[in-house]
Amino acid sequence: MLVLGIESSCDETAAAIVNEKKEILGECLWTQIEDHKVFGGVVPEIAAREHLEHIDEIIEHTLKKANVKAEDIDAFAASSGPGLIGGVVIGVMATKAMALALNKPFIAVNHLEGHALAPRLTGDVKYPYLLLLVSGGHCQILIVRGVGDFERLGTTIDDAAGEAFDKVSKMLNLGYPGGPIIEKMAELGDEIRFVLPRPLTNSGDCNLSFSGLKTAVRKIIESYAVDGNIEHVNLDKKDTADICASFQLAVADCLIHKLEKAIKIFKQECPEGKDIVVSGGVAANSYLRKKMAALAEKEGLIFSAPPIRFCTDNGVMIAWAGLERFQKGYTNELDFKPRPRWPLDENAPKAAGAGGVKA
């Protein structure tokens, strides 16, 4: 069984072909990061134009790398939301066109389900499992019971974790995307030098909040302004590294604290569940991975995370989620409309960073 998957919901144009033996036959990824860097974040119009320009050659290259003819593909899957709608539409149209021309099924994949199921392709993760999904637009804790079967235990009520990394990096003039830069800087820093808040620690639920943390970092930076001018901040490399390390520790503390709560619920609801998993762009963070691995060991769970290149957006995760859907017989009609907002747990209340309010 061969499934071709396409990703174009943010700033990566990507395609991949996978089979049911978890083999990646071919993959191709074009990142637009350089185009967006100067703006400090993704510009939707530029992203859409870039996707349009590159999608055909990305698909062609992927087929070539896999040494597979388009007519040998059994189903075509596209990341169909949530995300930046211009890019999503381009990927969905290209995928539908192939499905139509070759008379093969079309599968609409929720981008978040791509992240959520990626650890099953790259490791031996079994349903049900506890998932921390942390990316540039999302931050959720979910029980994954099966394909399309999610229970959201917690979500950010404002910024996503990756968004907080990106914003702090921008405030420190370190560049975009912020996550990898802050992680690197933090390696040189003292994580207990600056005291930062741990929002929602006592909220009693598994929800998270990062906007207060970001504001607290801004106040620290402002306290270094020369003559009250925040354009001129007197921070040396050591100060900057210490801010990065203190911020990264605060984010990790918040996530681990809420995961401890979520593990209790997971163990009660799914006593047969053995796995705790992290995925999404922020899952590339090795500091967070180490903390989660230690937590899993303490709780008697197995920790896994996809290799770093499968944490950030890619075509492989969409092809794999498409294949899992196809195996279940879940295909979509060609009139499927892309969904800029598409929560994994449709029963959970709407929230930012959950695919429900913003992408």
Q: Which residues bind ligand KG4 (CB under 6 A)?
A: 10, 135-137, 162-163, 165-166, 177-180, 183, 280-282, 284-285, 312-313
Is 85:340 a contact under the CB 8 Å cutoff?
yes
Identify whether 128 is preceded by a cis peptide bond (ω within 30 of 0): yes
Q: Rounded to an integer, what distance in angstroms lies between the CA atom of residue 187 and that of residue 170?
A: 18
Q: Which does 165 bind (CB under 5 to 8 A by kind): Zn ion, ligand KG4, none?
A: ligand KG4
Distance CA 111, CA 317 (A): 9
The nearest distance, CB 77 to ligand KG4, in angstroms, is: 17
Site for Zn ion in 113-152 (CB under 5 A): 135
Please say whether the beta carbons of 40 and 32 come within 8 A.
Answer: no
The entry of Zn ion, ligand KG4, none near residue 177 (CB within 5 to 8 angstroms by kind) is ligand KG4
The CB-of-40 to ligand KG4 minimum distance in angstroms stands at: 12
Residue 111 beta carbon to Zn ion: minimum distance, rounded to whole angstroms: 6
Q: Which is nearer to ligand KG4, 58 or 66 (CB)?
A: 58
- Which whole-number Å values give the CA distances from 222 to 71, 175, 217, 233, 247, in the listed order? 59, 18, 9, 7, 15
Distance in angstroms (rounded) separating the CA atoms of residues 180 and 160: 16
Under rule CB under 5 A, which residues in 233-292 are in contact with Zn ion?
none
Q: Which is nearer to Zn ion, 110 or 135 (CB)?
A: 135
Residue pair 157/207 in contact by the 8 Å Cβ criterion: yes
Nearer to ligand KG4, 40 or 180 (CB): 180
Report which of 291, 287, 191, 196 is spatially closest to residue 241, judged by C-alpha positions: 191
Cα of 322 vs its chain's centroid, Å: 17
- Binding part of the chain for Zn ion, among 28-36, 313-321, 325-333, 337-345 by CB under 5 A, reads 313-321
CB of 326 to Zn ion, least distance (A): 21
Provide the minimum distance between the beta carbon of 114 and ligand KG4 in the complex, in angstroms, as a whole number. 9
Q: Which residues bind Zn ion (CB under 5 A)?
A: 135, 313
